[in-house]
Amino acid sequence: MKMFTISIFESKIFLQIINEIKLFSKFKIKYYENMHLCLEEAKKENHLIVCFNNDLNQIFLDKIKFTTSPLILITNSSVKKNVLPNDLCEILIPPFKILDFSKKIILLIAKYQFKKNSVVKLNDYILDKNERKIKKNN
């Protein structure tokens, strides 16, 4: 696996817990207070975003709508899976076991890399090896 960064948004306590238990020592871990900055950084590198949001309003959902990075959303409110931007998004409702969290991270990273390696872009064409299709302008 390439070096992945786990980007934690809006929970310094969770960052401290993750650093304390050293469960993710093979990943870089970054903390962001600004969602826009977090999403911009995720576009440049291999990031998995962990968001804490108890108030899932439309503004927040609009911010994450176009993300292509893997995303774990930790929230108390009920969210339907179809509201999330892609199939690389998971929802966790606290309390949860840290090992379940770890498994979700590994699963999402594996899915992301599989999906990333299966798409080849040639000029205006997109070759999807998994679907065995060539696409142009969707």
Share of the chain above pLDDT 90, in %: 0
HSE-up (13 A, CA, CB side) for residue 124: 3
Instruction: Note the pLDDT tens digit of each residue in 98-126.
Output: 888 888 888 888 888 888 877 788 888 88
* pTM over 0.85, yes/no: no
The residue written with tokens 């798409």 in the block is: 119
pLDDT band at residue 62 under the 50/70/90 scheme:
confident
Side by side, which strands form the sheet with 125-128? 119-122, 125-128, 133-136
Instruction: Note the pLDDT tens digit of each residue in 70-95.
Output: 888 888 767 666 666 667 888 888 88
3-state secondary structure of 51: strand
HSE-up (13 A, CA, CB side) for residue 123: 1
Give the mean pLDDT of 126-137: 81
